[in-house]
Structure 1
Amino acid sequence: MPSFAEARAGLQGEIDNVSPYRVRGWARNPQLPDEPVVLLIANNGEVLERVVADRARDDLLQAGFSSSHHGFDVWLPARLDASRRNIVRVFREIDGADLFRSPVILEASEAFGPVLQARLTTLLATPMEAPELRERIEFLVDLVEGLRRRLADEHAIGRGREAEEEPLRALVIDDQLPDSRRDAGSMAILSHIRSLRRLGYEISFVPSDLDGVRSLTADALTAEGMTLHLRPHTNSVEEVLRREANTFDLVYIHRYTNAAKYGPLARSFQPTARLVFSVADLHHLRLQRQGEYYGSERIAADSQLIRLRELSAAWSASSVITHSTHEAELLKADLGRTPIAVVPWSVTPRPVVRPFDRRRGVAFVGSFMHAPNLDAARRLVHAIMPRVWSTEPDIPCFLIGSDMPDELAGLNLDGIEVLGHVPDLFFALNRVRLSVAPLAWGAGIKGKVLESFAHGVPCAMTGIAAEGICLPAALDVCLGDSDEALALAIVTLHQDEALNRRCAEAGLALIEDGWSELRVDAAMRRAIIGSEPNLKLPGSNGIEQLSR
């Protein structure tokens, strides 16, 4: 139970523990309880570290505080010399007020410091015969291997015995705070964050775009128990990595742009953490296909540059996460021994309830900030639907999605209804018989396809839209790459109730089996600690964990 002793200048808190490696405790200003306290840690008069006391601690809530984010846990940049006396102070930066129990005195001991190391060096340097020399070498090799195994075990499951008392810590880095209402990328990273929490990790999140934070999104994430590093207390990702050096067990970086910028810094400031690079989708593959589609040599050249940057970020990671089995195969060929994990995101089945005969039409769903979606919507409106209407003129088409451009929002075409952003996709899909994803280029798993399946609505789609999902044979009828083939698939699925039902059931089964929280947790566990190697994702061809 935390102490309630007040220090001067209104500083509340105490030091829990000091070791030659680490300092832990909590600090709070009762006059400004929502502002974290900034502390300095000094040893024998020399400042070693600066820390912001903003970690969550359940014991503070149990003690009656309105907020739990007042803890700190610092791994010192260098081990204290245990062969001499150490006087460790923890005090507030603005006025020098000490925490309760500060200073802590660590008396000199016979620990593994310079004195003991010198004795050991002298002993091993003593002249000896070859048999005795071999005996000492074998002893030291066994000792070193045992220490290495112990270190690996501690960083795989936490920090030794303390892992039983404290959660593991993960730092997640992405462009923006995730918002499941915005895009599939947000749904994916939120699912992975929740999986990490179920696996025992305490989550800290820092966006690279600190100026684009929306307060409602921040409030929702904080309510889930995440620690957010935002302005005015945080000015950059680099600041978090440096300020909390050696405190994270896992650094999860989303998208190659962030991995390229912050991967080396994470290696420097969090050297014992497992560095996971989640590619979202292969950006260079999307650009390559875009260049081929438009016949642009410039875009094709850009794709090769991006490819080098993506692979460089992947080579430096402990493991790479992708959602797509297709992209896992490509990464395997390029990365060799770097571990690759196929980790889906959880999708909740919400089958529509309106009977087939009371539904009508086809829906296109997508964020129109994403260029492949905008191109696909144009193709649908101007090339595919006219072919559909040539045989079935009464099939309406609904355009659904955020950031709708004026050219689509202002469409005045018979048969096209622009819905724009909808707060709940269920109500939109509950009125149609199928969705359509006529993507001609792109990369990664398409969230619009998964959401359609999860709602029990078949999706007429191109091979690009279906790529990496590993569709069952029952859904082959939904595939088509040409305008004519997609128009035929739309008409067939709209007319044939029995076929529509079979496809809906196959899509729902795919989601329930391959995109559940159970599957996400199993795949995530393999990605970060390598356990449960025999549990495979459907259609993954064994790629979900390609270990070293």
Structure 2
Amino acid sequence: MNAFENKRILIIGFVWPEPKSSAAGSRMMQLISFFKENGAKITFASTAAESEFSEVLEGVDPKLITLNCSSFDDFVTELQPNLVLFDRFMTEEQFGWRVAQHCPDALRMLDTEDLHCLREARRLVVLKSKPFDLNNELAKREIASIFRCDVTMMVSDFEMELLQTYFKVPSFLLFYLPIWVENETLDLPSFEERDDFVFIGNFLHAPNHDTVIYLKEEIWPLLSKKFPEAKLQIYGAYPTPKIKSLHEPKLNFFICGRAESSFEVISKARVLLAPIRFGAGIKGKLLEAMQFGTPSVTTTIGAEAMNGDFLWNGFISNSPEDFAEKAIELYQNKTSWLNAQQNGFEIIKHRFLRDLFEDAFLEMTFDKFENLEKYRQRNFIGSMLMHHYLQSTKYMAKWIEEKNKA
């Protein structure tokens, strides 16, 4: 069965993928490669400008599109894609009504990356001391987008459950597809060949920004006091002035900038530290740490939806004192380190290998293509939301377009 043979797929990207900068970029490149391998003809469109770090999309037709402009209508009408993949709900908000109007038979697929409303609710608790509230404005937009689409891919089984139990999203509108790992053998350094603690993450992502500040201000003073020779290497794209100001070599706290290779950075470190205080989805840095044989210490939120019933590849801790102690133990105790490394390999093997998901993904997509009208008939809330959204967004977009002409 090949669901994408001779199919035209339009991907509307929030940004052009940068797999060396973020897990979101890696995720998008996985999807593009998978579609290509299965015979699809792909057009990747985005309103964002490409950067010097954007991936070269070989075998993919690139297209720069414009917000609130009827030029997109002409473009998508001529293209007539069989499937439109929206990269995060914001692109569905902007272009979903145009796709529905001009390509009504196209399968509309949403990739959330993570549940933005959950991440925002947690951010407000940590940074604004507000009560946890999932009924936020972002949720109203994001959940509406999920209902309007024919299927939404989720990287987190925890968020799958949350959508179904709390927001009452029908299971047939959701599909679990985490960032996967290729089944390959890597030549990994031994315990003795590794040095230092490491963190890696894109600093445009608020949870990463907060994590490094938290590391410097709360955890590192405790850790370095007990383990003065410890060194922490911080890598990440787009560091802000605040992050750069944390660079303090005399305290063995190093801001190292963008990493050319996450494998080189993570596999050479002995322990990855990720005291993530808010966020959602699954954490690409922690998945890569498992893949590259590097044990980690993280929080409950960091580990969420990743290890299932398996032991974590290191420790999970939510207090600065305990976090520091666990990090030192993992760094110094070879037996604990080797056990943690093996735990990570088991999590990868049973929860994240590509072989676990590709057949089910193809079968689901084939089923949606064959029975699209039947599924849409079952999704009354989605059709109701699409009706009102199409009318309101359509006329707002046309008003903006006319205003821009003036």
- Name the CA shift for 1:471/1:416 in 2 (closer, same or farther; >3 Å): farther
| Structure-to-structure mapping, 1:180-199, within 5 angstroms | 180-199=19-38
1:362 counterpart residue number: 197
Asked whether the 8 Å contact 2:118–2:134 carries over to 1, the reply is no
Output one character per residue of 1:121-176: Cα deviation in whole Å (capped at 9) or x when no partner.
xxxxxxxxxxxxxxxxxxxxxxxxxxxxxxxx9xx957xxxx6xxx1111101111
- Separation of aligned partners in 1, 2:70 and 2:353: 34
Which residue in 2 is equivalent to 1:454?
291
Structure 2 match to 1:385: 220
Gaps in structure 1 of 5+ consecutive residues: 1-152, 532-546
* Pair 1:400–1:214, CA change in 2 (3 A): closer
State the Cα deviation string for residues 222-260 of structure 1 (Å, max 9, x = none).
x2x111113xxx545863454332721111101111112
Aligned to 1:130: none
In the alignment, which residue of structure 1 is the partner of 2:391? none
Aligned partner of residue 204 in structure 1, secondary structure: strand
Q: Which amino acid aligns with 2:150?
A: S
- Give SS of 2:192's match: helix
Q: In the alignment, is residue 416 of structure 1 matched against residue 249 of structure 2?
A: no
Q: Count matched residues.
A: 363
SS at match of 1:280: coil
Matched, 1:511 2:344: no
Note the alpha carbon deviations across 1:273-307, whole angstroms, 9 max, x for none. 1111111111111111111113355x978961110
Match of 1:336 in 2: 170
2:84 is aligned to 251
| TM-score, normalised relative to structure 1 | 0.61
| C-alpha distance in 1 between matches for 2:280 and 2:41 | 31
Mark the runs of 5 or more structure 2 residues left unpaired by the alignment. 369-377, 380-406
Aligned: 1:325 with 2:157: yes
Shift of 1:454: 1.1
CA distance in 2, matches of 1:278, 1:357: 41
Q: TM-score, normalised by structure 2?
A: 0.82
Given that 1:177 and 1:217 are in contact with CA atoms closer than 8 Å, whether structure 2 keeps it comes out as yes
Does residue 313 of structure 1 match 2:152?
no
- Structure 2 residue aligned with 1:376, among 208, 211, 223? 211
Instruction: Label 1:244 to 1:368 Cα distance change in 2 as closer, same or farther (>3 A).
Output: closer
Question: What SS is found at the alignment partner of 2:54?
Answer: helix
| Distance (Å, rounded) in 2 between the aligned partners of 1:337 and 1:513 | 23
* Alignment counterpart, residue 489 of structure 1, candidates 326, 349, 354: 326
Measure how far apart 1:338 and its partner are. Answer: 4.5
The match for 2:98 is 265
Specify the code of the residue in structure 1 equivalent to 2:263: F
Q: Which residue pairs with 2:109 in the alignment?
A: 276
In the alignment, what sits opposite 1:41?
none
SS of the residue 2:10 aligns to = strand
SS of residue paired to 1:356:
coil
Alpha-carbon distance in structure 1 between the residues aligned to 2:53 and 2:325: 44
Once residues 265 and 172 of structure 1 are traced to their aligned partners in structure 2, the CA distance between those partners, rounded to angstroms, is 14
Letter in 2 for 1:497: K
Q: SS at 2:44's partner residue?
A: strand
Match of 2:62 in 1: 228
CA contact (8 A) 2:21 2:201 kept: no
* 8 A contact 1:341–1:523 mirrored in 2: no
| Residue 509 of structure 1: how far off its partner (Å) | 3.2
Aligned partners of 2:186 and 2:292 also within 8 Å: yes
Does the 8 Å contact 1:434/1:457 carry over to 2?
yes
Partners of 1:426 and 1:455 within 8 A in 2: yes
Please report the RMSD computed on the Cα atoms of aligned residues, expressed in angstroms. 2.7
Q: Which has the higher contact order (CA 8 A, sep 6+)?
A: 2
* C-alpha separation in 2, matches of 1:301 and 1:372: 18
In structure 2, how many angstroms separate the alpha carbons of the residues matched to 1:441 and 1:314? Answer: 22
Structure with the higher fraction of residues in helix conformation: 2
CA distance in 2, matches of 1:291, 1:506: 33
Q: How does 1:471-490 map to 2 (within 5 A)?
A: 471-475=308-312, 477-490=314-327
Instruction: Tell me the residue number matched to 2:262.
Output: 425
> In structure 1, what is the Cα distance between the partners aligned to 2:141 and 2:211?
28
Structure with greater strand percent: 1
Amino acid at match of 2:120: L
Name the counterpart of 1:174: 13
> Which of 104, 113, 124 is the aligned partner of 1:291?
124
